Amino acid sequence: MEWILALVIGAATPAVATQNEAAAQFWLHMAQHCGQAYEGRRVVARDDRPDLLEGNERLIVHFRECSSELLALPFHIGSVDGSWDRSRTWRYSWRDGQLELRHDHRLSSGEPDESNTMYGGLSIGRGTPEQQQFLFTERTADDGSALGWRIEIVPGVRYTYGTFSGDNWTWRLDFDLSKPLDRLPPAPWGHQ
């Protein structure tokens, strides 16, 4: 088992030259969960606009694609009626030695949701091995403060995906990395 983990992490080691050791460590923290899926819950609900979630859904993140250039994490939302929304994949990559987060949104047909896909931003500053923030360059808050995504990873404990305004969480999902699912979800829409 240890040699498999070493192989996966080795294959997912960033190929990009970066002066940011914290970002490279963050990448490796994420990559060590490759091939696993985990359940989560909404911790902070939106209060500034309609929320994507009602709070009773089953939430799963799947560390599905891992290479030295891309970490792709589909986000599956299961409704209480048994249906699933498999439209979203969080894509982490490198651009000019800096981390980048993009959101791949697909329609149930598998086609890209042209009105709402591949938005994202670059990491802000150096971050830490456990936390990186990504600036949403197209928007700022009404008070002029930065908007973006805050991602946290504590290997074997927690993966957090959320949005922020200034210093505050505006939406937050926590996934329990101590309990990998026995059964992986199917591919997200538009992927094999």
pLDDT at 11 over 60: no
pLDDT at 8 over 50: no
Please state, as a whole number, how many other Cβ atoms lie within 10 Å of the Cβ of residue 98.
18
Q: Are 12 and 70 in contact (CB under 8 A)?
A: no
- DSSP assignment of 116-128 equals S-SEEEEBPS---
> Is-above-0.95 flag for pTM?
no
Compute CA distances 105 → 130, 177, 179, whole Å. 26, 24, 27
Question: What does pLDDT average to over the chain?
Answer: 90
pLDDT at 38 over 50: yes
Residue range 3-30: mean pLDDT, rounded: 69
Q: Which residue's structure tokens are 């994202």?
A: 120
3-class SS at 66?
A: strand
pLDDT at 167 over 90: no
pLDDT tens digit sequence for 128-139: 999 999 998 666
The whole-angstrom separation of Cα 101 and Cα 131 is 13
pLDDT at 5 over 50: no
pLDDT at 145 over 90: no
pLDDT at 15 over 80: no
Residue 115's pLDDT is 92
